Amino acid sequence: MNLSAGYNKIDRLLATVAGWLQPLLLLIIRLYWGWEFFITGKAHLANLEKTASFFNDLHIPLPKLNAIVAGSTECGGGLLLLLGLGTRIVTVPLMFTMIIAYVTADNEALHAVFSDPDKFTGATPFLFLFASALIFTFGPGKLSLDALFGRKTSG
């Protein structure tokens, strides 16, 4: 067996194993980050005046309304991620919320994306945005309500 054939055989084996693990990985990402979004949004809504004051300090227009919108998006979106329901749709406003968080609360980290990548990736919105982008790109996986309903409607 030549080196190229051996490489291809190992690559196919690893791709098969990765295919088996993908639904589990997507479930873990959805559960963890769905819960984190839910808890963060719930805290924003439970401490609405404090959140609105923080938004006001960041010069976000209509701070109380935007605090309600951001908190509701995170809280409701987090629950939907946990369930794997409407997943790709809900990741869009979640990503938007995290981009706004970068632009307003972590602007210095945003501008350091190339000059100081550790500052960019260490900012609070990064992992929330990254998890949302992964789920948007790869979908919720086979272990989700989206997949269950998809099977029932196509069957």
Q: What is the pLDDT of residues 43-62, one digit of tens each?
A: 999 999 999 999 999 999 99
pTM for the model stands at 0.89
Residue type, 22: Q
Parent domain of 135: 23-154
Whether residue 153 has pLDDT greater than 70: no
Domain count, the chain: 1
Residue 10 domain flag: no
Q: What is the mean pLDDT of residues 109-138?
A: 96
Q: How high is the pLDDT of residue 99?
A: 97
Residue 3 domain flag: no
Residue 85 domain flag: yes
Give the integer Cα–Cα distance in Å for 126 and 77: 17
Task: Provide the token pair at 27.
Answer: 């479930």
Residue 91 domain flag: yes
Instruction: Decide: 29 and 22 in contact? Cβ < 8 Å.
Output: no
Residue 38 domain flag: yes
Whether residue 152 has pLDDT greater than 80: no
Whether residue 91 has pLDDT greater than 60: yes
Residue 94 domain flag: yes
